[in-house]
Structures are given as structure tokens and as C-alpha cells.
Amino acid sequence: MKQAMLIVNPSSGEEKSKDYEIRAENKLKKSFDKVKVYHTQRDGDAILLCKKACKENFHSVFVMGGDGTVNEAINGLAEEKYIPKFGVFPLGTVNDLARALNISLDPIEAIENFDADSLIDLDVGKINDAYFINVAAIGILPESINDVESEDKTRLGKFAYYISVLKNLTNLETFKFKIIIDGKEEEIETSTILIGLTNSVGGFETLFPEAKVNDGALNFLAIKGKNLLDTVKSVPDLLRGVDSSTENIRYTKFKNGSIEQLDGQSILAVNIDGDQGPVLPVKVKVLPCHIQAYYCKM
């Protein structure tokens, strides 16, 4: 029997989430013999449900929610011997993975466009013992993301993040790091480090224009400079998209590396797909073509 699991975060999508859930279940029943629907109630539920799907040999697992729920699902799937096919119906604020997979951000369109034959290999990032599918960030950007209240996300969408970044820029702080990228060691001072897997980071779909979901590489970006002016100078490069180092940006593709904080002013944590992750130091690597995911060909 070909079974699918649909994991719904009922706090996403506001009052329409139940309608989306019914639509998705009906759509999936056209491709699967049986569809089991589960609701998350607390942090970590999606991890446990995905592990259950692996152990019970579900053909596919679908997540209906935002980037945080997607990240939990990836962490539930990544270490298992058997990994079901993975799908996303976006209900979140940014929905970076959906963007990278060309899935409509309109939930109804995303459901209607689902094609059980449209599968693509998906790279997964590993940072210490955690996994990510979009981005790992250190410095001003993750601090800004952590400062955003859930009600502001609901009211303002991704602009809540931009406003928080602007506020934090007024108290800009840089940090010294030792980084090792594919065996090459260097020291840098920066306010922000990003490690991206896909072209879309924080809703910017062209930040890493050359990045593919299955190219077997991570994208390292650090903003050069030690003050607010230097950081502001990097903005045009970021908006154009980064595929090489510039006067304002340090960029490279890599497969395996580590990041260590050299100054002890404050203990920095890594933000993983929008949620707080491990504190430095960290080891990071890519797991090439680790999961098969549904995408939209349209």
C-alpha cells in the first residue's frame, strides 16, 4: 500500500489552515492509497512524526507549514536508513525551500500544482548534530531574526525581519572568526556569515543565483568591513546576487568546513533555517542529494 503522511502546523496559515489541509488531503488521495494527517502541537513534533514515517515505511511525507516546520521535518528524516519522498505546501512567512523548488507561495496553487511524478534530489546541510535545508547564519542577521516576535511575523510578514535588521544595524558589532573551508584556514572579522544551500535566503530568491538544490555545494558569504558604512556598502552586492567575492563580500562554494569564534566578547549561536541552533564552534558539511523532494516544473 502506497501511504503518505501529511504533517500540518495548525498555527500557520491562520484561519484558512483547515481549508488548506482538506484540499491537500483530497489532492494527495488521488496519488496515494492512504493519507494520514497529523497536527503538530509543540516544538519537535514534526521531527518525531517524520521518524515515525521512516520507521513505518511511508512512501512520502508532506509538510504544511513554515520554514521552522520544514526544518524539523528535515531533522527527523536526515539520519534515518529509509527516507520517504518529501513535499512542502507552504504556509509560513518566508518559505525559502518552496521558493527554491519553484512551488507557488499561494497554498491553493501549490496544492493544485502538485505532481507525484515531479521529483528532484535535494542536498542537506549538517552543522554539528543538526541539519538545515536553507541557511545557517551567524552575527547580525540571526540576532535580528531571533528578535522578531511571532505576532510581528503574522502582521508584517517578511518585512518584520527587514525592520529588525535595520534596528540592529544601529548597534553594529563585528566578530573575529577562524574559518576552515575545504582544508584552507583563514581569519576574518565580520558582522555576518551566511552559509546557504539554495538560491533563496530570507525570501531573497537571487542572493546565491548560481546555487542549485542538488549541486553538492554550500555557499559561504561574509560581509567585509568593521563598521556600519562598510556593511551598507555590501547591500548593492547582496541585492544583485552573489556568485564571486567583491570588495565588500567574501564568497566561495565549499563542501566541508568549520567556524570558530576568536574573540570572547559574547557567545554566538548559529541560526538554522530561522531558529536558534548550536553555539560556536561548529563543523559544517553538505550531504549531496540526500533526500528526494517534490518540486513544481511549471
Q: Which residues are annotated as catalytic?
A: 275
Beta bridge partners of 196: 135, 219
